[in-house]
Amino acid sequence: MKKFDDLLRKFDLDYFGSGKHKVSFEKMMELEKENKAFIIDVRTSEETEYLKFEFAVNIPTNEIPDRINEIPKDKTIILFCSSSARATIVYTYLKLLDYDVKIITNNISELAGSFKPGYVLKRNK
């Protein structure tokens, strides 16, 4: 519990105001293309049946502890869900385990809307 207490004490205005906890869509995709990121969709499997993002691995929030061995320590871990609530929970959990972790703050519709023809064309070159 002490480690959690210490982590919570770091989550002040300076921390959240600096944006250290988040990553932009563009930066996330740049890191992924360079193989420097491991992107996790923490929504439930049922949710991903309706909208799946091929660039991400689906590990639902409740499965993270049992699947922690699938999450590499040598990459930036980037999390997302439908509203950032679950991603924030997993963010805190992974920070306690000393992962380099970020949250993409775009909601699902913004994330899906980012894949416009110009972006896809640029990414595929």
The per-residue pLDDT for range 61-108, each reduced to its tens digit, is: 999 999 999 999 999 999 999 888 999 999 999 999 999 999 997 777
The CA distance from 42 to 64, in Å, is 8
Closest CA relative to residue 76, chosen from 31, 26, 29: 31
Q: What pLDDT, on a 0 to 100 scale, did the predictor assign at position 16? A: 83
What structural domains does the chain harbor? 2-123 (3.40.250.10)
Which band of pLDDT confidence, cut at 50, 70 and 90, is reported for residue 26? confident
Position 112 pLDDT exceeds 80 = no
For residues 95 and 101, the answer to whether their CB atoms sit within 8 Å is yes
R_g over Cα of the chain: 15
Q: What pLDDT, on a 0 to 100 scale, did the predictor assign at position 115? A: 65
